[in-house]
């Protein structure tokens, strides 16, 4: 099928729109990866959703090399990561420098750190087949069912959850929401809800989403601001899961993810934090956030609004920085935000 150059609205601010020149489009438009993933599929989300921040999704690891003339500048713009850079991992919780102060407990409502993972030698969710997706669900849920101690829990397929249970899990910030239009246009919601589900321990402090945007989203969370405890639990969980599953990892790009924003560590470390005064002064709020490489989200996750002066603050950089640095970025930024909030 032949496609013509997309028509972006004049106020479009996505990185897709910024870097998809006519020349790049002409160079890539007829290429496809060995899984049959095309440029058209890679850009469809940003074309259908011109309010995207990024607008592209990879269908497999090969997408990042085959479509490099588009993906490389997007990766550089988002992470500040050059083509010649190499990603290095450091997931050692002992190297994190945090103090669990009274102020952290006063301002921070809850802490959550997640990493995305995809199984090596399989297409990513945008290009995966229905059977491969079911195989992922089976393999991952089996591995999770073998975990012990604090990490032991149960897998709940989305199809087996009642509407009430599902909605409550979403409301309580444990489960992904349904019908995300960005994922829909990227082909990530095909055959929904089959093959999707959530594993969690009794306390819901350790959770794994299966087959959402990435094949796994491994999550550690708890109420309050003890960031080190949350990081330590996540490190333990990821190490245990890695004993039985091999994840897609490249020396250059780190962990391979569907969205280029998640490459590298695939880590988003966040707090829900009460900052009502800064919330009334978004310019100041955003300037501190940007200085500390932070992203501000609403309380129901990405593309949501803040409620009651509570914001979701997380590290923006994930590639070219270690896991420890991702969490350190978030912690240092949160300390600066609390100091400013108190001075207002
Ligand atoms: P992701 O973390 O995978 O990028 P979202 O931003 O959509 O995805 O967040 C997923 C869910 O996790 C949402 O319900 C969101 O409110 C919840 N969440 C994120 N950070 C925290 C936190 N620090 N405390 C409690 N819930 C959180
Ligand atoms: N594709 C969406 C956009 O460009 C989300 C990008 C980052 N978030 C994510 N969940 N991958 O705005």
Helix (H) or strand (E) holding 168: helix 163-171
- In angstroms, what is the span from residue 5 Cα to ligand 1's centroid? 35
Q: Are residues 339 and 265 in the same domain?
A: yes
Q: Is residue 26 in some structural domain? A: yes
Radius of gyration of the chain (CA): 20
CA of 105 to the centre of ligand 2 (A): 30
Our mutation pick for probing the ligand 2 site, out of 13, 49, 51, 52, counting the most ligand atoms within 8 A of Cβ, is 52
Same domain, 75 and 209: no
Question: What is the tens place of the pLDDT at every residue in 254-267?
Answer: 999 999 999 999 99
Q: Are residues 72 and 106 in the same domain?
A: no
* Residues of the chain scoring pLDDT < 70: 1-2
What's the CA gap between 191 and 194, in Å, rounded?
Answer: 6
Instruction: For residue 314, give the ligand 1 atom closest to its CA.
Output: 20
Q: Clarify whether residues 213 and 317 are in a common domain.
A: yes
Query: Residue 111: CB within 6 Å of ligand 1?
Result: yes
In this structure, what CATH number is given to the domain that contains residue 112?
Answer: 3.30.590.10
CA of 54 to the centre of ligand 2 (A): 6
> What's the CA-to-centroid distance between 139 and ligand 1, angstroms?
25
Which pLDDT value is given to residue 1? 52
Are 331 and 267 found together in one domain? yes
Task: Answer yes or no: is the C-beta of 318 below 6 A from any ligand 1 atom.
Answer: no
Residue 5 located in a structural domain: no
Residue 302 is predicted with a pLDDT of: 86
Residue 146 and residue 32 in one domain: no
Report the distance separating Cα 217 and Cα 328, nearest Å.
Answer: 20
Please check whether residue 293 lies inside any domain of the structure: yes
Domain interval for residue 223: 93-126+142-150+201-343
Q: Which atom of ligand 2 is nearest to the CA of 186?
A: 1
Return the best residue to mutate from 111, 112, 307 for the ligand 1 pocket (most ligand atoms within 8 A of CB): 112
- Residues marked active site are found at 114, 213, 217, 259, 261, 268, 297, 302
331 in a domain, yes or no?
Answer: yes
Q: Are residues 67 and 210 in the same domain?
A: no
Are residues 102 and 48 part of one domain? no
321 falls within a domain: yes
Give tens-digit pLDDT for 3-61.
899 999 999 999 999 999 999 999 999 999 999 999 999 999 999 999 999 999 999 99
55, 99: one domain? no
Per-residue DSSP letter, 169 = H
> Are 97 and 210 within one domain?
yes
Ligand nearest, relative to CA of residue 43: 2
Domain count for the chain, please give it: 2
Whether residue 121 is found in the same domain as residue 255: yes
| Ligand 1 closest atom vs CA 270 | 23
pLDDT score for 2: 55
Q: What is the pLDDT of residue 100?
A: 78
In a domain, 109, yes or no: yes
Residue 87 half-sphere exposure, CB side, CA atoms within 13 Å? 28
> Could you tell me where the beta strands, DSSP code E, fall in 137-211?
153-157, 197-201, 206-210
Residue 101 has a pLDDT of 85
Nearest CA to ligand 2 atom 11: 259
Q: Is the residue at 163 inside a domain?
A: no
CA distance 293 to 280: 21
Asked whether residue 115 is assigned to any structural domain, the reply reads yes
Nearest ligand 2 atom, CA 57: 1
Please tell me whether the overall predicted TM-score, pTM, comes out greater than 0.85 for this model: yes
Same domain for 112 and 219, yes or no, is yes
Which distant-in-sequence residues (6+ apart) come within 8 Å of 308 by Cβ?
274, 276, 299
Best mutation site among 261, 266, 301 for ligand 2 pocket (most ligand atoms within 8 Å of CB): 261
Please report, for the domain that includes residue 25, its CATH number: 1.10.135.10
* Nearest ligand 2 atom, CA 303: 12
């Amino acid at each position: 099928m032949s496609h013509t150059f997309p028509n972006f609205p004049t106020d479009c601010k996505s990185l897709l729109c910024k870097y998809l020149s006519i020349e790049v489009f002409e160079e890539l438009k007829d290429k496809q990866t060995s899984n049959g993933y095309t440029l058209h599929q890679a850009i469809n989300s940003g074309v259908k959703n011109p309010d995207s921040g990024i607008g592209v999704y990879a269908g497999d690891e090969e997408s990042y090399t085959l479509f490099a003339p588009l993906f490389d500048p997007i990766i550089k713009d988002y992470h500040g990561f050059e083509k010649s850079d190499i990603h290095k991992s450091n997931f050692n919780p002992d190297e994190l420098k945090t103090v669990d102060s009274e102020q952290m407990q006063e301002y921070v409502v809850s802490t959550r750190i997640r990493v995305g993972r995809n199984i090596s030698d399989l297409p990513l969710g945008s290009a995966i087949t229905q059977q491969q997706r079911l195989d992922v669900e089976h393999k991952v849920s089996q591995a999770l069912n073998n975990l012990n101690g604090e990490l032991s829990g149960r897998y709940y397929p989305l199809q087996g959850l009642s509407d009430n249970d599902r909605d409550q899990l979403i409301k309580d910030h444990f489960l992904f929401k349904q019908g995300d239009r960005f994922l829909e246009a990227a082909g990530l919601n095909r055959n929904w809800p089959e093959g999707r589900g959530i594993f969690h321990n009794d306390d819901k402090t350790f959770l794994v989403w299966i087959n959402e945007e990435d094949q796994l989203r491994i999550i550690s969370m708890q109420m309050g601001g003890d960031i080190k405890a949350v990081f330590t639990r996540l490190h333990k969980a990821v190490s245990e899961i890695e004993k039985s599953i091999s994840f897609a990892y490249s020396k250059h790009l780190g962990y391979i993810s569907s969205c280029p924003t998640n490459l590298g560590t695939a880590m988003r470390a966040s707090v829900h934090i009460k900052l009502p005064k800064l919330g009334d002064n978004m310019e100041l709020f955003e300037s501190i956030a940007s200085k500390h490489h932070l992203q501000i989200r609403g309380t129901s996750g990405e593309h949501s609004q803040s409620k009651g002066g509570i914001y979701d603050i997380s590290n923006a950089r994930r590639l070219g920085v270690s896991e420890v640095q991702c969490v350190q970025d978030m912690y240092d930024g949160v300390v600066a935000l609390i100091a400013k909030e108190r001075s207002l």
